[in-house]
Structure 1
Amino acid sequence: MDKTESFFRDTWAEVNLDAIRENVMNIKAGLPGKTAFMAVVKANGYGHGAFDIATDALQAGAEFLGVSMLDEAISLRRSGISAPILVMGLIRPRDITVAAKWDVAVTAFQEEWLAEAEAYLEKGGSRISCHVKLDSGMGRLGLRTPAEAKSFAKKIKGSANFTADGLYTHMATADELDTAYFDEQVKRADELVGAFEEAYGSEVGWKHCSNSATALRFSLEKYNLVRVGISMYGLAPSPEIKPVINQELKEAFSLHSKITHVKKVAAGEGISYGATYQTEEEEWIATVPIGYADGWIRKNQHGDVLVNGKRAPIVGRICMDQMMIRLEGPVDIGTTVTLIGENGGAFLPMDEVAARLETINYEIPCTITPRVPRCIIRDGKVAVVHNSVF
């Protein structure tokens, strides 16, 4: 990999688009009937890079893209993405003209919002595609009762500018083995969909409630679209359901650096701030140029990395830009260190880092900061390098 003119510090992430495409195709192949696939690329594609992920997910068979904010949708449009995009968060009413300009579908569920947004539009002019959010038990956004669903359906049916092209909800516990709450949510969602369509006077085209966990575990005949996020990136929605997922998932994100200094340290020496780590005997200590400013936070102390296919522990406090590791013996300066991913036939999974930090795997790539360049791998080689610093 020639990075000479792409970045000037040997710390980088790799995003394997070959894995993304394979995950999309395999997940899509396991869906019932003609179920459509929405690739969720919010949060800059979960830290992987929204444009590259979106492009390859669409090529692999995804029909829709899902984002959280209007800004994310516009960024994709400006990059040349023409596929349908749904903003899953609530936009400001005054920004509805921007959504219309960029042909972006919006989430709606508040009658007051609908009236205020319509006031910004020329009556009978712009037609805005809406996916109506139903709160079946997530407790976040959406219509909560059949009465609310019926009332909103009548309002949007009478709108001169808005059409209800979708109905959707979000499952709160699909990544848990106990399905009692999930089953209750499905029941409530079905009731809300029925109430809305009854008042709307026709069937709504797209109905979706399946996140990654739901799409991989359940077949829901009444719904014809799935929203796949974390599993598209090759990660299980939770460690709990990992054993019951039959679908093979290939991790797309890996994180690497290179050793900048190696030294033999005598027993009783302190390493890093606070000298919290003390060498117990003569030890080989290496310095690696990655730190908490890169999103490799201090809580990663005591975790392992991979060097030449072997585990090496992180020792001492992680600094803003650097950290230290303990080696079994001397290695060459410039030797690759893998923090997430494959190295020398060994593999350090994202889930291990998440467990170490007492969080979920979703959070890890999202928190690796933009100053870590992303090397985009396509067809087994580096296609492009994104470096927000240089």
Structure 2
Amino acid sequence: MTSPTLFTQEFWNDPHPVYAALRQEAPVRAVTLPNGMEVWLVTRYSDCKTALADPRLSKRLGVGDNSRALAAPVRSPLTHHLLANDPPDHTRLRRLVAKVFTARRVEDLRPRIGELSAALIEPLRDKDGVDLVEEYAVHLPIQVICELLGVPIEDQADFRRWTAVMVSASAGGAGVPEAAAAFVGYLRGLIERKRAAPADDLLSALVATRDEDDRLSEDELTSMAFLLLFAGHETTVNLIGNGMYTLLTLPDAHRRLREDPSLIPAAIEEFLRLESPVETATSRTATEAVTYGGVTIPAGAMVAISLLSADRDPDRFPAPDEFDLGRPDNQHLAFGYGIHYCLGAPLARLEAQIAFTDLLTAFPDMRLAVPPSEVTWRPGTLIRGTVALPVLL
């Protein structure tokens, strides 16, 4: 095929035509990421779903080149979490935190999340226009995950900065080792404070927990705190931002949701499918040769699975580029699939339901302050989200 232009700002702003071409002509192909890493990119839904659950693809960081961006002193403290392990370690680690994210436990958080959302919306009522990402979408998930973990909210500026740098690594951004080292140092200090003065929060529980008399190692504890803090806010920020961007470009859908809020859960699933907050799943390493779509990926190669592309595959979703509130069987891959399916999916859905309900109620006439073509999207192959979302309230 004629090689499409990947990983430019033009691509980040609208990757869907490129992914459509790849699905049609080269659904499994070798590419070079902006950070110089060579990976095999998988783009069709059926292949992506198979790869996500394939035990021959290892998630363990340190296998292949998975962790080469991290300096040795911080590699271990950040590479012993759920997304960086295979069974049996993955099974043990997931079991330790899964009970916190059950549908029932998450639903118990609804009143508090509603309070946080209302408090964020109140000062916006006096404004004509805002950056909805910076003024609302960023803060709701951060406040929720900070309360859940027991992280001081006043520290959010620091870990937001560190996570932004680490996300930029997939686009060739600089400063990753320094940001990772700072994050590790912060988490180590926070864990020591929880150990000295436990509180009623998840991080204190993880510090004290035992699993069949096997306490979490210090690196596992630091890694899990990192993952929960990072994934607990970064993806939901972009679910809210991407969803509002999508909605504000679709007047009919916007009107229907205002008139019938019961449609909001179905709308969220379409937001997730159309503009997934996770563009590409965290990388895997082939432990042996694997074949998808008739293409064999050699042992030792890195594999990148495009969730964003898979969820617009016309072989799986009729009229995949259309927003359809009545779409049947919307089994998108935005939260992954298999044993690494997102543990926080119920929490993300609940936060999004509250956010869209509150925003549509408070600001029924909200609209974009700029043409859609002027909204810039963040560079990077991991997280998909807008740099800013200027709106008129």
User: Higher strand fraction: Structure 1 or Structure 2?
Assistant: 1
The higher-RCO structure (CA 8 Å, 6+ apart) is 2
TM-score tier by shorter-chain length is under 0.3
Which has the higher Rg, Structure 1 or Structure 2? 1
Q: TM-score, with normalisation over the residues of structure 1?
A: 0.26
Q: TM-score, with normalisation over the residues of structure 2?
A: 0.26
